[in-house]
């Protein structure tokens, strides 16, 4: 552990839009990495962000920050990709598939040409499909290609349940699984409040009703649409999630996140990247966890996987 902590850690960020810039700001504030290189097709924007962030260094942990090129990825521990077309009002994440898959082929090829052998973290939508594409384009082991998956959806669920129960959301464990999108599902059977299962809580308190839980899930599933309607894009929440995931990787934490992972038989599914709880450490995905799902949850997960597989099949990989 000491060797890991003393090693200079470099994060390469590809995409300096709202999500990327928010992620960079979170990294700096929390002092997660030693070096951050920002890469963007608009190099001036990357330079501007690097300058702006550097001016905050007197108030933050030390970090070397600069605007660079794909060549800088060769020495990176993690490459985080947030680049690509963003979701417009009325547009689903899956609508972005053709636009962003073309962009990704160029990006990933350029990164691998630098000699990169670290870990990819993908946040661009549709994240599950683009994570699968990155795995194929890169040739890296699947354990080293991670999508942000349903980390944000799960955080939204924990936040709303915390409000419902008047309990700190950090003491609530609950997962959204499946596609980061319209076919995702809440795993109520495995949700708990400080060790007390959701079903036990309902039995003791008489609340929340099943109808109320359905309302909470719909709020989670449709949250991005509501935020986009109000401010044009979502970026703070996912940036915080990406920063937390980066910290878990660099610090070899063996922490659990609902990330987009390649399934190889788990849950009766294979050859698909999908949001599933997994143990994350310095090597990437150490293990995909196979939860004991209710039959209806398993059916919904399989439906979500089918949607993703069809989307993947439409790509030229």
CATH code, domain with 105: 3.40.50.720
- 180 is known as an active-site residue: yes
Residue 133 burial (CB count, 10 A): 24
> Structural domain of residue 278, as residue ranges?
151-313
pLDDT score at 2: 42
Same domain, 129 and 169: no
Span between the terminal Cα atoms of the chain, in Å: 38
User: Are 25 and 100 contained in the same domain?
Assistant: yes
In contact, 256 and 278? CB cutoff 8 Å: yes
Please list the pLDDT of the chain residue by residue as tens digits (317 residues): 444 445 889 999 999 999 999 999 999 999 999 999 999 999 999 999 999 999 999 999 999 999 999 999 999 999 999 998 777 777 776 777 888 888 999 999 999 999 999 999 999 999 999 999 999 999 999 999 999 999 999 999 999 999 999 999 999 999 999 999 999 999 999 999 988 999 998 889 888 899 999 999 999 999 999 999 999 999 999 999 999 999 999 999 999 999 999 999 999 999 999 999 999 999 999 999 999 999 999 999 999 999 999 999 988 77
The one catalytic residue among 43, 55, 173, 180:
180
Say yes or no: 178 and 282 in one domain.
yes
Are 188 and 294 found together in one domain? Answer: yes
DSSP assignment, residue 87?
Answer: P
Predicted structure pTM score: 0.94
The two structure tokens encoding residue 180: 């980061």
> Are residues 303 and 177 part of one domain?
yes
**What φ, ψ does residue 108 adopt, rounded to 5°?**
-65, -40
Last residue within a domain, chosen from 99, 131, 147: 147
Residues 47 and 176 in one domain: no
For CA atoms 93, 217, 120, 52, the dihedral sign is positive
Helix segments in 1-94, DSSP class H: 2-6, 18-30, 43-54
Q: At what angle do helices 43-54 and 18-30 cross, to 10 degrees?
A: 30
Please give the tally of structural domains in the chain: 2
Helix axes 127-138, 295-313, angle to 10 degrees: 60
| Cα angle, residue 289 at apex, residues 284 and 292 outer, rounded to 5° | 170
Q: Comparing C-alpha atoms, which of 127, 152, 104 is closest to residue 261?
A: 127
Same domain, 9 and 45: yes
């Amino acid at each position: 552990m000491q060797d890991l902590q003393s090693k200079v850690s470099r994060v390469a960020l590809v995409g300096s839009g709202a999500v990327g810039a928010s992620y960079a700001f979170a990294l700096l504030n929390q002092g997660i990495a030693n070096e951050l290189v920002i890469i963007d097709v608009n190099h001036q924007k990357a330079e501007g962000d690097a300058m702006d962030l550097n001016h905050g260094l007197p108030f933050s942990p030390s970090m070397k920050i600069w605007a660079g090129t794909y060549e800088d990825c060769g020495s990176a521990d993690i490459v985080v990709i947030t680049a690509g077309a963003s979701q417009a009002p009325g547009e689903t994440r899956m609508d972005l598939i053709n636009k962003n898959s073309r962009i990704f082929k160029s990006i990933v090829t350029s990164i691998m040409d630098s000699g990169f052998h670290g870990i990819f973290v993908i946040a661009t939508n549709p994240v599950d499909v683009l994570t699968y594409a990155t795995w194929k384009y890169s040739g890296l082991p699947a354990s080293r290609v991670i999508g942000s998956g349903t980390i944000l959806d799960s955080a939204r669920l924990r936040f709303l349940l915390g409000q419902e129960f008047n309990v700190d959301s950090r003491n609530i464990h609950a997962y959204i699984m499946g596609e980061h999108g319209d076919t995702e599902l809440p795993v109520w059977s495995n949700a708990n409040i400080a060790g007390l299962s959701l079903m036990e809580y309902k039995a003791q308190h008489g609340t929340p009703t099943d109808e109320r839980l359905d309302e909470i899930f719909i709020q989670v599933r449709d949250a991005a649409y509501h935020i986009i309607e109000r401010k044009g894009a979502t970026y703070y929440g996912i940036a915080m999630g990406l920063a937390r995931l980066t910290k878990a990787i660099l610090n070899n934490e063996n922490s659990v996140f609902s990330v987009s992972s390649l399934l190889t038989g788990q849950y009766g599914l294979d050859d698909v990247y999908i949001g599933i709880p997994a143990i994350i450490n310095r090597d990437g995905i150490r293990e995909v966890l196979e939860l004991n799902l209710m039959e209806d949850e398993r059916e919904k997960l399989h439906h979500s996987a089918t949607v993703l597989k069809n989307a993947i099949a439409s790509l030229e990989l």
